[in-house]
Structure 1
Amino acid sequence: MAPIPRLRDYKGPALLSYGFRPFFLFGSLYAGLAILAWLPVLSGELALSTAFAPRDWHIHEMLYGYLPAVITGFLLTAVPNWTGRMPLQGRPLLVLVLVWAVGRVAVTTSAWIGWEAAAVLDNVFLLLVAAAMGREIIKGKNWRNLKVLIALGVLLAGNILFHIEAHVLGVADYGIRFGIAATMVLIMLIGGRIIPSFTRNWLARENPGRLPAPFGRFDMATMVAAGAALLTWIAAPGWSVTGAALIVAGALQAVRLARWAGERTWRDRLVLILHVAYGFVPLGFVLTGLASLGILSSAAGIHAWTGGAMGVMTLAVMSRASLGHTGRALVASATMQGLYLLLVAGALARVCAAIHPDWSNLLLHVAGLSWSGAFVGFALAYWNVFTRPRVAS
């Protein structure tokens, strides 16, 4: 990624100087605190004033609450590099953060304010982000990156579908699968771009030898197979053909990951964790395929994708990007490495909870506390990174 363009004469708080700062900070805090709230909701000790079913609130706030915050932080930092225009900062950035926060409150209090008002307030955020990104890309004449609007549009459509479905049917179904599938496509696309690139750069400098295979026809074939399997899963999750397609896609994604030479990156934990995170992608495909065949609970594969691939990948990207964009060395501290391990252990515990029902209660709490500890811990560990000015080079 090219350097961020020279800033305007900005005199405000460092937190509002770049988009990644507030959205990575508050997004990670929300991810951790929302799961701390979810655990007593799950056990019946706490009731939320949301129009969503308790499970749907939990899923929605991870897929359409936390994830859009991270994506927005990434885009607000990346788009100025793509277009050569100044980044969004100061008061406009604060407004965007507040709109996101209002959406979180609206969803959680939707039983009071009404589902229609909650849906509008929640979706305004993605509309504003799409408008801001579109304006910058068009003014910068960076036409090839207009595809980011497609990704935002897919998330927006999935969120609208989620709200409508939850109101009409009482629970969300297609909206959940739609959001998970869209997230997996984003991870496969972005991961397939940054993981081999970062790995190649580090290996060429520190550990000469086998390098990641370049993007080619095999990668295209794996993406097509995965996309077709996900579309089939959205439409017919209980079909045996869906199960077979998901398992084949998972095997192909596993081979794709193996071609990136991740086992040679042990000494650079910022690179290694990206490979570990991507490992949950094929695992999720296989487990979800087995669920479609009636062999496992669907929760196993879904949480491999969400708690594993989505959770670990976003934490890995946030921790690396925040260091790079604030002038700090790209080195995972001992604390950050511990948080990586905590989150991976939590993701595996959540998958195992779906596979071993007798241990589910204990494993659910291990998973929830691990997730919360990892994200709140990240926010605290990176507090100075987000709230203090860039380190002078």
Structure 2
Amino acid sequence: MSCGPVHEGPSGPVPRTPLGWLGHEGFRLFFPLGAIHAALWPLIWVLVQGLDLPMARMVPASIWHGYELLVGAYGAALIGFLTTAAPEWTDTAPLRGRPLWWLAALWGIARLVGFLGWDGIGMLGGAADLLWMGALILYLLQLSWRRKTDILLAFVFWLMLLFGAMATSRLAFALGDIDLAQQSTYMFGFGFLGVLGLALARIAVPVTNLVLDPTERSSPFRPHPGRLNLAPGLILLAMAGTLAGLNETVTGFLWIAAGAGFMDRVAEGFVGRQSFRAEILLLTGSSALAGSGLMMIGTAALGAGWSLYDGLHVALMGGLGLGVLAVYSVAGLLHANHSLPVPWQTRLAGVLLLASLVFRIGIDGVTGLAWLERSLPLASVLWAGAFLTWLAAYLPVFLRPPLGDPAPLPGDAGFATADIAVGE
């Protein structure tokens, strides 16, 4: 399989305005939107909590906060990634212009409803979220049918799980069913970790090879293809066990196994001195935090000294957050026709994100620094700083007119190994 895109038909005229350039490809529009939402939403939530403002919600604000971060910030990253990567993987023309703006409008309507926090229009926000997720599923199915390929079906499967969890969460919000709202929001987060496992497996190989050989004349890094879907498969097993109501001991070990699947991906980052390149560290760090968080969830069920919520924050805030930052940085750079390495702002953003995680979960009892315990305002500021730092470096690049065909998104070559894994 060639690493270069071979799009069907003409790519169309290059837009002449900054808004047109943003809508020229999915990553240009949705990566900045996701970064802005990721930066501002936690700050808004902390402000509301700190001022003790009334929340017109039938579920606790903490559950709503988690839902908005997952569906809002990470949802925008998902749209931008798949509308950019799927055309590369299927050698088809990408979505441009109006379809992207319609997706952005649906996503934006739901975020506005979430910001207002009014149950009276909650169904409108839920409908908008379900529409953009459904449209994304149909888009991938349409590409699969046109190209007669199954390489997108794993993503379709996980998107369907996300759709189901999202619909259940919205129903629970409307009914005021706190337990169902909490469980379905957790399931949405775990489903996103499944998508993360798929994405990392397909991105890590070509990015590592590009770091090891910038000339792209060789592929020195070739992991075993049988490990491609290990982490997502183990997450699915743990989710099924949890939803089936298995006892805590059984589900605890299932979540530990799911975490181990991500830790297996960390081993792929040991490629000599190049392991310390920011591009590699972002990918391995994402897997390490996702795996550590899932194992913390499992061991918490077995009686460990930390809570389920600490594990959730490590996996969803740390693992998913760093994974999103990695996709933003590497894919955004290469698709805007720039070469590696990533700029220094990406390294700073990663450090700020990790610092935010430390302050969010607290380390009292580990080092005795009680002043770090639950430092929510500082954690929110550091988190916002991470994504705003990325935005300051990359938005000027995205606001420049596209020049020629975009460089291939990491993941195109990665499907060469995916094909082997399914016996093609």
TM-score by length of 1: 0.88
Question: Contact between 1:184 and 1:281, CA under 8 Å: does it hold in 2?
Answer: yes
Which has the higher mean CA deviation after the structures are superposed, 191-200 or 338-347? 191-200
- The answer to whether the 8 Å contact 2:56/2:119 transfers is yes
Residues 1-393 of structure 1: pairs in structure 2 closer than 5 A: 2-3=4-5, 5=7, 6-12=10-16, 13-109=20-116, 111=118, 113-168=120-175, 169-170=177-178, 172-204=181-213, 214-217=223-226, 224-236=233-245, 239-261=248-270, 264-295=273-304, 296-352=306-362, 358-359=370-371, 363-391=375-403
Q: Is the 8 A contact 2:190 2:239 kept in 1?
A: yes
Which whole-Å deviations, capped at 9, do the CAs of 1:308-357 have from their partners, x for residues lacking one? 11000111111111110111122221222111111122123323369779
Question: CA offset at residue 188 of structure 1?
Answer: 1.8
CA shift, 1:245, in A, is 2.8
- CA apart distance, 1:131: 2.6
Identical-residue share of aligned pairs (%): 25
Q: Per-residue displacement from partner, 1:221-269 (whole Å, max 9, x unpaired)? A: 6654443234324454871222233234434542442244156324521
User: CA offset at residue 47 of structure 1?
Assistant: 4.2
How far apart are the structure 2 equivalents of 1:251 and 1:288? 12
Gaps of 5+ in 2: 406-424
On the 8 A contact 1:51/1:115 being kept in 2, the answer is no
Partner-residue secondary structure (3-state), 2:375? helix
How many angstroms does 1:196 deviate by? 3.6
Superposition deviation, residue 115 in structure 1: 3.3
Q: What CA distance in whole angstroms lies between the structure 2 residues aligned with 1:218 and 1:8?
A: 39
Contact kept? 2:235, 2:258, Cα under 8 Å: yes
Q: State the Cα deviation string for residues 82-122 of structure 1 (Å, max 9, x = none).
A: 33332211222212211110011123335253433332233
User: Cα distance, 1:293 vs. partner?
Assistant: 2.0
Structure 1 residue 186: Cα displacement: 1.5
- 2: CA distance, partners of 1:110 / 1:362: 24
Distance 2:204 2:109 in 1: 34
Residues 1:335 and 1:116: Cα distance change in structure 2 (over 3 Å): closer
Q: Which amino acid aligns with 1:2?
A: G
Contact 1:350 1:367 in 2 (8 A): yes
Q: Which amino acid aligns with 1:308?
A: G
Q: TM-score, normalised by structure 2?
A: 0.82
On the 8 A contact 1:24/1:70 being kept in 2, the answer is: yes
Relative distance call for 1:116 and 1:94 in structure 2 (3 A) is: closer
- Separation in structure 2 between the aligned mates of residue 392 and residue 220 of structure 1, nearest angstrom: 34
The letter of the residue matching 2:178 is: G
**Counterpart amino acid of residue 297 in structure 1:** S
Q: Answer yes or no: is the 8 Å Cα contact 1:103–1:125 preserved in 2.
A: no
Q: 1:223 to 1:66 in 2, by over 3 A?
A: closer
Q: Shift of residue 213 of structure 1?
A: 6.2
Change (3 A) 1:355 1:176: farther
Q: For 2:231 and 2:101, how far apart are their aligned partners in 1?
A: 40
Q: 1: distance between equivalents of 2:324 and 2:393?
A: 16
More helix by share: 1
CA distance in 1, matches of 2:6, 2:371: 48
Cα pair 2:144 2:153 within 8 Å, conserved: yes
The letter for the 2-side match of 1:247 is I
Q: For residues 36 and 11 of structure 1, do their structure 2 counterparts lie closer, same or farther at Cα, with a shift above 3 Å needed?
A: same
Q: Which moved more, 1:133-142 or 1:19-28?
A: 133-142
**Quick check: 1:159–1:175 contact (8 Å CA) kept in 2?**
yes
Contact 1:300–1:355, Cα closer than 8 Å, also in 2: no
In 2, distance between residues paired with 1:270 and 1:257? 13
The CA RMSD over aligned residues, in Å, is 2.9
3-state SS of 1:173 partner: helix
State the one-letter code of the partner of 2:393.
A
Deviates more, 1:79-88 or 1:227-236: 227-236
Q: Distance in 1 between matches of 2:155 and 2:258?
A: 24
- CA deviation after TM superposition for structure 1 residue 55, in Å: 0.8
Partner deviation per Cα, 1:180-229 (whole Å, 9 max, x = no partner): 221121222221232244224423569xxxx7562255666665444323
What is the rounded CA distance, in whole Å, between the counterparts of 1:91 and 1:319 in structure 2? 25
Is the contact between residue 346 and residue 370 of structure 1 (CA under 8 Å) also seen in structure 2? yes
